[in-house]
Amino acid sequence: MNHSNIENPTPLQPNYVPPEFPHRGEETARLKAAIINKSSPGHQTLFVHGPRGTGKTHLLLSLLNECPDSVVTCYVPCHQYNTQYKALKQIYQAVTNDEPGDGHHTAALQRTIENRTQAVNVVVVLDELEFILHNDGDDLLYFLSRLDTDLTLILISATLNDLTSRLEERTYSSLQPQRIKFEPYTAEQCYDILVERARKALAPQSVHRQALTHIASTTQNLTAGLHWLRTAAKTAHGIITKHHAKEIQTQAYQNHVEHLLTDFSDHHSRLYQAIHELTQEQEKSGIRTGEIYQRHQDLCDTYNEESLSNRRLSDYLKHLEHLNLIKANYHYGGTKGKTREIQLPRF
DNA sequence: CATCCACCGGAAATGTTGGGAC
DNA sequence: GTCCCAACATTTCCGGTGGATG
């Protein structure tokens, strides 16, 4: 039995890459000029940054698709390929159509990549850059910057504004990145896009305008907004009203969080759960890390899972911070000692 | 002014897995 | 197979931080 409003679920899926990018004309033109109508051979690096849900990833994926077959393209989501070696493997695969195992020397992969990319146009996108910079990403960037090929390197990040402070000097000066900033959508622009997606995915007249304006004025993160709309469509009996949208707001946000965490470990989820629980229980805002580590430990005990060292969890917390799932206030000493205060953002 | 808070975060150590040479 | 060498996830170790307290 299907009494759902959804006629075509695809345009509401998180991985759906739309054919058009409204309100991103300037960014599209600049990226196209750099990638597809590249004027001069040699190196170029673009640093694409801006908040989550502003279309960075999807626009780049769409442009990679438009590249002619003669161009070797490689998209690397660095939250999954978070070391130089793993990222090199992805590039190696794109260049040679061959998958190397794990027991090689980094230098051997680098040499092969260097040889196979002579006289080839290569576009490499490193998305979620902060996750690899947390490890040995700098070495990777330095290697890529020194490649003697026609390489277009695109670095994407939602939490970094400035690479100068995050890269070694020689790496930065060798890359000379051009910045392209994606501003957040305005509520009006967000509404536009939601309307368009609703039109493509849902039965006519199945969503109230006020439901969409409510979503668009609450969050300008389009990824989150689309999760919200999809959740609303899935759960509505009949027309999607503003009231219904409000009712399922929390559930929609949880879906969004779950989606962000799919590529991460169960410990990441449990850590988030620990923070979530503590936030619900206490009215004071700001929870210190010690408390979170303790709660995570307790959760592991009840699920009969092995816990991790606090040192490791500290890194995982940083991952959640990179995903904008938590806000962290750093105290480098003082009354509270050296610690972080963690908060959940409002939707 | 010394000491303490409470955890940060770099570095080294440990254990596991996979590759290549013999 | 055996041996050695990489990469990697995780643990262990520990120096460091700056306002509050006495």
Instruction: Read off the pLDDT of residues A190-228 as tens digits, 9 standing for 90 and up.
Output: 999 999 999 999 999 999 999 999 999 999 999 999 999
CA of A270 to C1' of B6 (A): 23
The per-residue pLDDT for A42 is: 86
A242 in Cβ contact with A214 (< 8 Å): yes
Q: What is the pLDDT of residues A231-260, one digit of tens each?
A: 999 999 989 999 999 999 999 999 999 999
Report, in ranges, which bases of strand C sit under 7 Å from a protein C-beta: 5-14, 16-21
CA of A111 to C1' of B21 (A): 20
- Nucleotide with C1' nearest the A292 CA: B7
Strand B contact at CB of residue A314, distance < 7 A:
yes
Q: Alpha-carbon torsion A268, A17, A140, A166, what sign? A: negative
Strand C contact at CB of residue A83, distance < 7 A:
yes
The structure's pTM equals 0.94
Strand B contact at CB of residue A98, distance < 7 A:
no
Phi-psi region of A176 (alpha: psi -120 to 50; beta: other; left: phi over 0): left
The CB density around residue A267, as the number of other CB atoms within 10 Å, is 18
Taking the stretch 237-256 of protein chain A, residues with Cβ within 7 Å of any atom in nucleic acid chain C are none
Strand C contact at CB of residue A289, distance < 7 A:
no
pLDDT category of residue A1 using cuts at 50, 70 and 90: very low
- Nucleotide with C1' nearest the A342 CA: B7
List, as one string, the DSSP characters of A73-139: EEEEETTTS-SHHHHHHHHHHHHHS----SSS-HHHHHHHHHHHTTT-EEEEEEESHHHHHTTTHHH
A347 in Cβ contact with A249 (< 8 Å): yes
A151 in Cβ contact with A144 (< 8 Å): yes
Helical H segments across chain A, by residue range: 25-35, 56-66, 84-96, 106-116, 129-133, 137-145, 169-175, 187-201, 209-218, 222-235, 242-247, 249-261, 266-281, 289-303, 310-322
